[in-house]
Each structure stands twice: as structure tokens, then as C-alpha cells.
Structure 1
Amino acid sequence: MNIGILTLRIALPGCASLKEKRQRMHGMHQRYGRNPAVAVCESAERNNREASEWTFVVAGQTVPEVESLCSEIEDRVQRTVDGRVVETTREIL
């Protein structure tokens, strides 16, 4: 079993309130938490309306499988979130 930790820091320029932030980030748990190989949480910047940090823990049988799923998540977040990914960190355990 291999574990990957993917952390994405997202800038939310022009976000006026925490309510708007929740609306813009809506669905992160539902989109990625459905996959039994992925756990997701907002790991930092919870009270900052112009930024958000999300961590994904990905499990897989092989390192390439984990890397592929991490890349898929990163690409999908960049396409679907109303914000800009400003920092990405990835670690394989």
C-alpha cells in the first residue's frame, strides 16, 4: 500500500466573505470524498476569505497509481474551482 499527500493552496481573489468562500469551494468533499481511495479536508486558511488550503490523502497499490490519482485531482481542481491554485505540494509515503 502506498500513500500520497497532495496539498493545494488556492487563492480566491475578490472573495468578499466566508459565505462566498464556502460557495466558491462548495463540493470539494462530495467530488473527491466519494472515491474510497481519497480522503479530503480543508487543512488551513479556514477563516481567511481570500485563500483556502486543501489536503488530499490518496491510497493506492502502486506509486504510479497514487501519482496518477494526485495528478487527476490537481487538474480537476484547477479546472473546476473558482480560484487559482498558487501552491502544490506532493509527498509519497
Structure 2
Amino acid sequence: MHIAVLTMKVSLPGCASLKEKRQRMGGLHERFGRNPSVAVCESADHDRLEASEWSFVVTGTSSLQVESLCSEIEDKLQRTVDGRVLDVVREML
């Protein structure tokens, strides 16, 4: 079993409410949480309107599979979120 923790920090300039923040983040929990190999949560900046940090725990039978899934999550998040990714940290456990 191989495990990675992927943490992504996103800037949401001009965000005016928590409702708008949820809309701009585009349902990450529902989108990525459906995959049985991924656990996802908003891990910081819960009450900050102009920032959000999300963590993904990714599991797989090989490190290549885990790395591939992490890359897929990064790409989808950068394409679909109405904000700017500031930082990406990938930690293999």
C-alpha cells in the first residue's frame, strides 16, 4: 500500500462570502471524494474568504498509481476552480 498527502493552497481574490467561496471551489469534496482511493477535506482557512487549503489523502497499490492520481487531482483543480493555486505540497508516506 502506497499513500500520499497532497495539500493545495488556493487564493480566491474578491471573494465576498462563504457561500461564494463554496461556489468558487466547485464542490471538490463531492467530485474527488467519490473515488474510493481518495479522501478529501478543507484542511485550513475555513473562515477566510479569500483563501482555501485542501488536503487529499491518496492510496494505491503502487507509487506510480498514487503519483498519477495526485497529478490528475492537481490538473483538475487548476482547471476547474475559480481561483489561483498558490502552493502544492505532495508528501509520500
The alignment's TM-score, normalised by the length of structure 2, stands at 0.97
Question: Match of 1:36, SS?
Answer: coil
The alpha-carbon deviation at position 23 of structure 1 amounts to 1.4
The alpha-carbon deviation at position 7 of structure 1 amounts to 0.2
The alpha-carbon deviation at position 54 of structure 1 amounts to 0.2
The alpha-carbon deviation at position 84 of structure 1 amounts to 0.6
1:47 aligned residue: 47
Matches of residues 50-89 of structure 1 in structure 2 within 5 Å? 50-89=50-89
1:27 lines up with 2:22 in the alignment: no
Partner Cα separation in structure 1 for residue 19 and residue 27 of structure 2: 14
Question: Match of 1:8, SS?
Answer: strand
Amino acid in structure 2 at the alignment position of 1:56:
F
The alpha-carbon deviation at position 26 of structure 1 amounts to 3.2
The alignment's TM-score, normalised by the length of structure 1, stands at 0.97
Amino acid in structure 2 at the alignment position of 1:75:
D
2:4–2:58 CA contact under 8 A, matched in 1: yes
- Name the count of aligned residue pairs: 93
The alpha-carbon deviation at position 39 of structure 1 amounts to 0.2
Partner Cα separation in structure 2 for residue 73 and residue 29 of structure 1: 12
CA RMSD of aligned residues (A): 0.6
Partner Cα separation in structure 1 for residue 10 and residue 25 of structure 2: 10
The alpha-carbon deviation at position 2 of structure 1 amounts to 0.4
Partner Cα separation in structure 1 for residue 30 and residue 22 of structure 2: 13
Partner Cα separation in structure 1 for residue 25 and residue 12 of structure 2: 9
**Sequence identity percentage:** 67
